[in-house]
Structure 1
């Protein structure tokens, strides 16, 4: 499929939803992709990428940053508290703020460094026990607590259950964001990003449709 086709589909989805052109940010999910594939997409001019693991990103992106300007890196996977400092140094946005301990760690690091990545609160819209994220019923109070810590909460993120219609989860996330005055909605992946855009997504996370199937993991 490739970057050009995905970019075109996003533009069509924006137009169909009555959204401004360019209002949706495409995060190219480069986790476990060979460096050559990532470099090819960089060569096409794309600069916004998503990684799931801090360690993998730390081994990959410093070199790319030396060769390509303007890289905007997003952490979209779960974050262990002991890797928060490295994440602060590597990423411009973190989409997986999901618990008070991590919020407190972020607040301490922000005070210490004088900077903080843009943050998205992960909401477990499907209330799946195996999945990270704040439960929908707890989202409002968690967002309030994060704001009390002076954290820069940009928006919300969700990963709908595989077996359920994702639009129901996108609509729920948009509703929680709206009542909390949050503009950012990180939702939608390769198979459903057009539906996410129709329901207000500002960031879509697309991997295999850009790079091809992952080689491992």
Structure 2
């Protein structure tokens, strides 16, 4: 979508696209509740406003600074927004992330856990947390390695208690995602974690069939973007 994001035509298109994606989610879920995270990274606030007007309140962003600039004013007008961090989190951005996000989906290393614990103590609050698992053991991707995941999840549950809500993963690009989705769901089941954030624009229906409780959809809602080759959260 390259037109003026404030135009009525674009707003109507976004609303129709949202309705279509929600309908597809509902059909795949078969009555089970699956939450749609609208991935708004790189998209202007006007597009987010149009999505809000159409009834979408859950959004995902990759970068703390971009999210702060975009969503701080939006939240004044729309305090019910539920904002998720779905991109890698640097330890020097943790305090800002804790203050801004309702859910951080990319907890993947002890140093980040230390920073989150310190920020939570300082601020007196902590968002919901998901452990990101490198489900395909890909060296270029973030996430805790599969061999270390069980021990790390147990340690994070002991450290953060009920704040640790689930797991997130991104399957290898070009591979059949279903086996990876099933592995992530089985891991969440093993640890008694209710949230399984898996599935993006090209495979969210497969993810739902495998047990996803949250899907991260960007390009199928907002259209392709210049960085669409980046797989995270699209």
TM range (shorter): over 0.9
Hey, what's the Cα distance between the residues in 2 that align with 1:168 and 1:203?
Answer: 17
Q: Is 1:48–1:74's contact at 8 Å kept on the other side of the alignment?
A: yes
Q: Is 1:187–1:193's contact at 8 Å kept on the other side of the alignment?
A: yes
User: For 1:10, which of 13, 17, 25 is the aligned residue?
Assistant: 25
How many angstroms does 1:212 deviate by? 1.2
Could you list the structure 1 runs, at least 4 aligned residues long, displaced by more than 6 angstroms after superposition. none
Hey, what's the Cα distance between the residues in 2 that align with 1:136 and 1:121?
Answer: 12
Structure 1, 26-35 or 60-69: larger mean CA deviation = 60-69
User: For 1:159, which of 153, 160, 170 is the aligned residue?
Assistant: 170
Structure 1, 136-145 or 5-14: larger mean CA deviation = 136-145
Hey, what's the Cα distance between the residues in 2 that align with 1:128 and 1:155?
Answer: 21
Q: 2:184: which partner in 1?
A: 173
Hey, what's the Cα distance between the residues in 2 that align with 1:144 and 1:47?
Answer: 31
Hey, what's the Cα distance between the residues in 1 that align with 2:206 and 2:87?
Answer: 22
Q: Is 1:124–1:159's contact at 8 Å kept on the other side of the alignment?
A: yes
Taking structure 1 as the reference length, what is the TM-score of the superposition? 0.94
Structure 2 gap segments, 5+ residues each: 1-15, 229-234
How many angstroms does 1:216 deviate by? 5.2
Structure 1 gap segments, 5+ residues each: none
Count of residues in Structure 1 that have an aligned counterpart in Structure 2: 212
Q: Is 1:29–1:51's contact at 8 Å kept on the other side of the alignment?
A: yes
**Aligned ranges 1:89-108 → 2 under 5 Å:** 89-108=99-118
Q: RCO greater where, 1 or 2, for CA within 8 Å and sep 6 or more?
A: 1
SS at match of 2:130: strand
Taking structure 2 as the reference length, what is the TM-score of the superposition? 0.87
Q: Is 1:33–1:215's contact at 8 Å kept on the other side of the alignment?
A: no
The reply on whether 1:212 has 2:223 as its aligned counterpart is yes
Q: 2:133: which partner in 1?
A: 123
Q: What is the root-mean-square deviation in Å for CA atoms of aligned residues? A: 1.3
**Aligned ranges 1:179-198 → 2 under 5 Å:** 179-198=190-209
Q: 2:76: which partner in 1?
A: 66
